[in-house]
Amino acid sequence: MATKVILDVDTGTDDAVALMIAALSPDLKLLGATTVVGNCPCTICTENTLRVFDHIGVPIPVYQGMVEPMVRPDFDRPEESEVHGKYLDLPESTSQAQAQHAVDWLVETFSASAGDITLVPVGPLTNVAMMLRHCPEVAAQIPELVIMGGAHHIGNRSALAEFNIWVDPEAARLVVNCGRPIRMVPLDATHKALISAEDCQQLRGLGTPAATAAATFIERRIEGYDRSQPMKILNTAPVHDALAVCAIIDPTVIKTELIAVDVETKGELTDGATICDFGNRTGKAPNVHFAMDVDVPKFKEMMFDILGRRA
């Protein structure tokens, strides 16, 4: 039976690939997407998400969420990001977001569920934290959260912090300590799963709307990464959020370790860092299955297989 999922996104080029994988995989049932401020202002993330679903022809509802982080003011982001641009390179959407606020929809949907919907946040954790703050009982209804975020050895927004956690560390701290099973797909894993320009050519060759769009988005990422944060191999880029979705379809695509993780919210140099207690020096109960490794061939095979499908 297909696993029910909700994706919380800040679309975003890699969110877009993750959304297409979630919508087209026969192993997942995507109930809806909620949008949050992150890669772009929230209204642009919403429009981008609608564009993706229009493009692949799936009528999945989109709910717009938090336009600012929970405590801190929204950060000063460039008008056009190196790896995401502003609007996705797809026709303007002809659909509308739902009228209900994302946080209200999440509370309502999880409350009414049979406890069988996996929550997949691949943007800052503001919507999820607001849901838990607004209605703490809802936590018991979430069987698992699969989060793209965090980092142990490497940061991308600062020396130690990963972007999604850095944007709203207070929200992330609340979520990682919510007491529910959590799998975290951090930069340590996603930076090992690099997609190359040749992979993009192969994707484009599949000829489906999803594969063609994914190739365009990933090529944009490769240009951005080569310019602003080159990977160990030039002409490649990580597609972070897609790996988190693939890990739900086949958990063996990542290798995790159960450890205690917390989030720094008061650091002068370390704000938004995920503090990973691999040696259990704090004695804190382990709360996160943290991924440090990836089966790269499996990841690519899954991406190609699913993006090669049509709705």
User: Which residues of this protein are in contact with ligand BDR, per CB under 6 A?
Assistant: 12, 14-15, 39, 122-123, 148, 156, 162-164, 240-241
Residue nearest to ligand BDR (CB): 163
Catalytic positions, please?
240
Q: Min. distance of Cβ 268 from Ca ion in angstroms?
A: 26
Q: In terms of CB distance, is 138 or 240 closer to ligand BDR?
A: 240
Q: How far apart are CA 227 and CA 64, in angstroms?
A: 31
Evaluate whether 310 touches 209 at the Cβ level (below 8 Å).
yes
Largest CA distance in the chain: 53
> Of 39 and 127, which has the nearer Cβ to ligand BDR?
39
Considering the rule CB under 5 A, would residue 122 count as an interface residue with Ca ion?
yes
Piece of the chain touching Ca ion by CB under 5 A; list 13-21, 97-105, 257-265, 297-305: 13-21
Binding of Ca ion by 85 (CB under 5 A)? no
C-alpha closest to that of 72 among 176, 169, 172, 161: 169
> Exposed, middle or buried, 160 (CB in 10 Å: 0-12/13-18/19+)?
buried
Q: Quick check: 12 binds Ca ion (CB under 5 A)? A: yes
In the set 15, 219, 262, 264, which binds Ca ion (CB under 5 A)? 15
Q: What angle do CA 208, 214, 218 make, to 5 degrees?
A: 150
Take residue 31 and report the two structure tokens written for it: 């109930």
Looking at the DSSP bridge assignments, the partners of residue 195 are: 237
**If DSSP codes are grouped into helix, strand and coil, which group holds residue 141?**
helix
Indicate whether 123 belongs to the interface with Ca ion (CB under 5 A). yes
Q: How many binding residues for Ca ion (CB under 5 A)?
A: 6
Nearer to Ca ion, 83 or 260 (CB): 83
User: Which residue, 173 or 240, is less far from ligand BDR as judged by CB?
Assistant: 240
Which option in Ca ion, ligand BDR, none does residue 156 bind, with CB closer than 5 to 8 A by kind?
Answer: ligand BDR
The burial class, CB within 10 Å (0-12 / 13-18 / 19+), for 165 is buried
Given the rule CB under 5 A, which residues bind Ca ion?
Answer: 10, 12, 15, 122-123, 241
